Structure 1
Amino acid sequence: MKILIIGGSGTISTYVVRKCVEMKMDVTILNRGIHHVDLPKSVKIIIGDIKDKQAMMTLMKDNFYDSVIEFVAFTKEDVQRDIEVFKGKTRQYIFISSASAYHKPVEDYPMTEETPLKNPYWSYSQDKIECEEYLKTVIDMNITIVRPSHTYDNKMIMAVMTRWGYEYAHIQRLKDGLPIIIPGDGTSVWTITHAKDFANSFVYLIGNEAAYNDVFHITGEKLYTWDQLTQMMAQALGVKAHIIHIPTDFIIQMMPEMEGPLFGDKSWSVIFDNSKIKKISQEYTSNIGYEDVVMDVIKYYESQPEKQKISEEYEELYDLTIELYQKNLRS
């Protein structure tokens, strides 16, 4: 089976590439060549910018793929461009959406693929919903939509209160004995999925007619509280976690940038019904837990000084949020 993966070097797509090769698929990846990862030798690489529609149409002129898998489309314009580029060039277009698109506030458990899509808090999720709505109108291409939920690898810091790109601050705060904010009372349940487990099921959607014009989420079945994940990281570091629970609405009042990541995602309990993907996948797994990789995460950051970035602005606001919340409790 001949497939094209757009991206191929991210948290999820790296594992998907490896699994596809293991399944004897003919894999080509298309990306800008910016991020370098170890790829199996059989993988072909096309260097290009998927956002350049004319260049892509030229590149695809004499190519045909059984499946095109899009990991880096985030807006309706992105998927509209893809449909134009790959029309007549593939039997199946797989769009990676997000389980964060499911209805917020959460109204029912467990979440299924029939759970309504609505997220008034986070533009990322709103854009993914708009992508899905457009793709459901496409009539001349087989579309498969996949919704991952907080999928991680052996390099991802699992923290609820961070600024994108500055996640290392969570480790540094733990090392320095500084308080760690957990929204709410710390008991909300969060589903996380290792990318290797995700890939084990995902590959069975590729080129599978039973997956055409349908939607699937693929998540693990390991559940954690944010308190547990924070304690897990602290234990691996050999330190004590000083957790402070602060109501989510107070956090957002102080740190408006957290509205999307919290109200739109991580402040809710999320539990999924994976029955649908289990009927398709021949090897659904949920084997790897964060406890299995947390030491790898720490070693990765300790060996990568350039990744140890901290936003002083964000940390000052973080500390101010704690200070004012504690002051309000005393008054």
Structure 2
Amino acid sequence: MKVLFIGGTGIISSGITKQLLEEGCELYLLNRGNRNENLPAGVNIIKADINDEANVAKLIENHQFDVVADFIAFGVAQLERDFRLFNGKTKQFIFISSASAYQTPLSDYRITEGTPLSNPYWEYSRNKIACEEYLIKQYRENGFPITIIRPSHTYDERSIPLGVHGSKGSWQVAKRMLENKPVIIHGDGTSLWTMTHNSDFAKGFIGLMGNIHAIGESVHITTDETVTWNQIHEIIADALGVKLNAVHVSSDFLAACSDEDYRGGLLGDKANSVVFDNSKLKRLVPGFEATTRLDQGIKQTIAYILAHPELQTEDTEFDSWCDKVVLELDAAIWRIKG
């Protein structure tokens, strides 16, 4: 199978890249080469900026692909470009959408691919919905062989998956745990969530590649494991070998008092309980099973990050913000009691 990935080095795509190469796939990555130093041997690099459409058209002029997947498209204009570049040059075009595109708030916490798409809280999600609508139109009117994939919260060894963190990543939350500082958990921590290891995501993704039954379809890929945010934080603290000092804060309050996009990322996504029904994926990919339990995956992630200081990016601004939020909450409690 001859495959082209636009991107190919992110959390989701890197796991797929690794597994495809192990299977002997003829894999090409089209990217600017900024994060290619850790790629496995055997990958073919097309070094280019996908936004330079004329240059990319020349570089792929003599190529035909079985699968093209765009991991870095976030708006309709980018997919219009992809259609011009790859219509007639691939047997399958895979678009990476987002499970955050599903109805928010949900009328039923159990999510299938038939759950309506609507998210008034997050522009990112609305843009993904618009992208899906554009591709469906091209499929219906021009026979463009699309498959739409909706990941939920997917993680790998390079970053600890969390709901509340700063713009520099999640290490500062782990550092607060190690220092026994209060750690903010949105809401009361009992909402349900799903986190999928990228190696498990890759199994489902690869099973959909070259799959004639996936053409024209939308599919989400997640584990069947469901946990609460309290459990997630306890798992992380346990992997760090410390006791969790949790402080629960309203998601609305966090969204109102932070410059981070907590309105989108929390109110439009992680503050809501979600349970994914993967029946459709399992019909399309018989034998699919996510096998990395969250506590196992988190232990691997923590061990990797602790062994790689370059991944321990401190965020003093976020740290100060957390202290201020906790202080204000404590002060409010004393004022009310007083």
User: TM-score normalized by structure 1?
Assistant: 0.95
Kindly provide the amino acid, as one letter, of the partner of residue 307 in structure 1: L
**Which residue, 289, 294, 317 being the options, matches 2:298?**
294
Hey, what does 2:78 align to over in structure 1?
Answer: 78
Kindly provide the amino acid, as one letter, of the partner of residue 278 in structure 1: K
Shift of 1:178: 0.7
Hey, what does 2:36 align to over in structure 1?
Answer: 36
Hey, what does 1:319 align to over in structure 2?
Answer: 323
2:150 counterpart of 1:147:
yes
2:174 counterpart of 1:174:
no
Q: Which runs of 5+ in 2 are unaligned?
A: none
Q: In the TM superposition, what whole-angstrom CA distance separates every residue of 1:23-71 from its partner, at most 9, and x where no partner exists?
A: 4432111111111354443322211111111111111111110110111
Hey, what does 1:126 align to over in structure 2?
Answer: 126
Hey, what does 2:232 align to over in structure 1?
Answer: 229
Q: Which runs of 5+ in 1 are unaligned?
A: none
Hey, what does 2:56 align to over in structure 1?
Answer: 56
Greater shift, 304-313 or 285-294, is seen at: 304-313
In 1, Cα distance between the equivalents of 2:41 and 2:273?
41
2:161 counterpart of 1:158:
yes
Kindly provide the amino acid, as one letter, of the partner of residue 314 in structure 2: I
Shift of 1:111: 0.4
Kindly provide the amino acid, as one letter, of the partner of residue 189 in structure 1: L
Q: What aligned pairs does 1:1-331 form with structure 2 within 5 A after superposition?
A: 1-36=1-36, 38-138=38-138, 139-140=141-142, 141-257=144-260, 258-330=262-334, 331=336
Shift of 1:156: 2.3
Check whether the contact 1:190–1:270 (CA below 8 A) recurs between aligned residues: yes
User: TM-score normalized by structure 2?
Assistant: 0.93
Check whether the contact 2:9–2:36 (CA below 8 A) recurs between aligned residues: yes
Check whether the contact 1:150–1:193 (CA below 8 A) recurs between aligned residues: yes
Counting matched residue pairs gives 331
Kindly provide the amino acid, as one letter, of the partner of residue 99 in structure 1: A
Check whether the contact 1:93–1:144 (CA below 8 A) recurs between aligned residues: yes
Shift of 1:225: 1.1
Identity of aligned residues (%): 40
In 1, Cα distance between the equivalents of 2:297 and 2:207?
25
Q: 1:40 to 1:239 in 2, by over 3 A?
A: closer
The Cα RMSD (Å) is 1.6
In 1, Cα distance between the equivalents of 2:223 and 2:160?
17
Q: In the TM superposition, what whole-angstrom CA distance separates every residue of 1:288-326 from its partner, at most 9, and x where no partner exists?
A: 022113233223323333332233222222222222222
In 1, Cα distance between the equivalents of 2:66 and 2:248?
50
